[in-house]
Structure 1
Amino acid sequence: MANKLTPTEFLYGCSIDPEVQELRPDYRALLLVAEGLERHDGSTVADGLISRAEAHASGLLASTPVDQLPQISAWRDAYRGFGAKPQRTRNSLEALTRRAATGLPRVNALTDIYNAISVLHQIPLGGEDFDCYEGPARLARATGDEDFDTTAAGAPVTEHPEPGEVIWRDDRAVTCRRWNWRQGQRTALSGDTTTAFFILDSLAPMGIQELNEAGDALGRALESLCTSVQISQRMAGAQ
């Protein structure tokens, strides 16, 4: 079932609850919708980005412990702020940076591209199927009653976030737990995705210029993948 909102309506309907902004006043997100995507199981664009990201991660980790990289350190602090243990539930940037040094996972062209951009620009970045959303995205503190669809031992299961946990959700349920830790199955990107929604998360010391540069790099990669791509975006959070 297609999202009933236009990309512009969706983006300007997305929100950050005051409780989350109070937790991290320095938080801002670049929200981006890409329309006109075509099926791509593999891509030379993705291949090149993955290679660059793996080399970049190896260079970073050769001189700096992973937990001392600026954005990874900032996100570890943010996780502690809502009661998560960052050494057990790593933010998506840290998980990818650790894996990139020995080889990033390959999923599909869209996921491979945004994973590579995440590592190259050192920013947590999630991508989801726009048409699977029910209403706009909202960043909130969980009550603990929300549903989150995931898998365990290869089988579908429904979990619930911890009370106070920072979650992304739509009108139906949780789409991503622990801010940027694990995405749900319902809105996951696939080879059939034609419109994708991306969330680029940032904390200080990353500034607006660096955040926009990451968004521009993502947009260019998607446009190289499909010539018909149209990008809409909006900045939310700290100004």
Structure 2
Amino acid sequence: MTEPSTLERLLEGAWVEAEVFALRPDYRAVLLAVDGLVPGPSDAAGEALLQAAEAATAQALADRPVEELPHVAAWREAYRAFGAKPQRTRNSLEALLRRAGNGLPRVNRLTDLYNAVSVLHRIPLGGEDLAGYRGAPRLVRATGAEAFDTVAGGAPVIEHPDPGEVVWCDEAGVTCRRWNWRQGRRTGLREDTTTALFVLDALAPMTDEALHAAADELTDHLTRFGPEVRVARRLLAAGTTPEHGD
């Protein structure tokens, strides 16, 4: 089991490149590093959360399309700013909202939880296995040379992000492409994940209070995943953390 100080050191090493804040000065992220998780299949508590998320989505989309939800619209604008086409590569929040009408995926209790919290709070939220990490997470604009370990046509492949694309990385390569579009295979959550990193991404008009409320709910639910669950937390925002790439 990872010591609490190890989780905190990992988050202390996380950073956001200045060029990302130049693109979106309103960007903020809460990072949660979690240890002591007991893996398990989808369960009744997760099912209740997913059903609540599906019902909330149906209500939110009763009178407008998903792309007009304020936080979805903000992320579409951010994608365009670094050259992505949001109608083709949808951020993780929009992708889940579009699936909710036909039923959100049921994967395992950890994935079910963070998907439900993402939809309920309308925030892009990624979960990754810290056992696959090499060093601390960082958010940068890619050079295009970075490695991204993924699957294409059912086979493992190494791809590369577009130059200027916003990507999460560690020392071994890209862990998530296009800010919060697609996660890599190397750090993906697994059936036996016991230590994880969660990234909650926010842009205006989402407030700091709403961002922290989502992180609080995720943290509260994670405590039921084992008697020794420990959580370290950090906010990344412009002006609150040293920036790299100046």
TM-score with structure 2 setting the length: 0.93
Matched, 1:102 2:102: yes
For 1:159 and 1:214, the matched residues in 2 are separated by 32
Paired residue type of 2:80:
R
Which residue does the alignment assign to 2:191?
191
Which residue does the alignment assign to 1:132?
132
In the TM superposition, 1:3-42 aligns within 5 A as 6-42=6-42
Stretches of structure 1 that go unaligned for 5 or more consecutive residues are none
Paired residue type of 1:83:
G
Matched, 1:166 2:169: no
Check conservation: 2:125, 2:200, Cα contact below 8 A.
yes
For 2:177 and 2:106, the matched residues in 1 are separated by 22
Check conservation: 1:43, 1:225, Cα contact below 8 A.
no
For 1:46 and 1:225, the matched residues in 2 are separated by 11
Task: Give secondary structure in 1 for the equivalent of 2:84.
Answer: coil
For 1:219 and 1:75, the matched residues in 2 are separated by 24
Which residue does the alignment assign to 2:58?
58
- Displacement of 1:47 in angstroms is 1.0
RMSD: 1.4
For 1:236 and 1:192, the matched residues in 2 are separated by 29
User: Structure 1, residues 44-77: CA drift from partner, whole Å, max 9, x if none?
Assistant: 2211111111111111111221101011000000
For 1:96 and 1:119, the matched residues in 2 are separated by 7
TM-score with structure 1 setting the length: 0.96
User: Structure 1, residues 102-133: CA drift from partner, whole Å, max 9, x if none?
Assistant: 10112221111101100000000000011210
For 2:55 and 2:148, the matched residues in 1 are separated by 34
Paired residue type of 1:237:
A
Check conservation: 1:45, 1:224, Cα contact below 8 A.
no
Check conservation: 1:108, 1:190, Cα contact below 8 A.
no
For 1:39 and 1:199, the matched residues in 2 are separated by 19
Paired residue type of 1:89:
T
Task: Give secondary structure in 2 for the equivalent of 1:63.
Answer: coil
For 1:74 and 1:40, the matched residues in 2 are separated by 35
For 1:134 and 1:45, the matched residues in 2 are separated by 33
For 2:16 and 2:101, the matched residues in 1 are separated by 33
Paired residue type of 2:211:
L
Of 178-187 and 96-105, more deviation after overlay is shown by: 96-105
For 1:65 and 1:35, the matched residues in 2 are separated by 38
Matched-pair identity in %: 56
In the TM superposition, 1:56-135 aligns within 5 A as 56-135=56-135
Paired residue type of 2:103:
G
For 1:160 and 1:85, the matched residues in 2 are separated by 17
Which residue does the alignment assign to 2:243?
none
Check conservation: 2:82, 2:164, Cα contact below 8 A.
yes
Which residue does the alignment assign to 2:151?
151
Task: Give secondary structure in 2 for the equivalent of 1:156.
Answer: strand
- Displacement of 1:26 in angstroms is 0.1
- Displacement of 1:152 in angstroms is 1.1
- Displacement of 1:220 in angstroms is 1.1
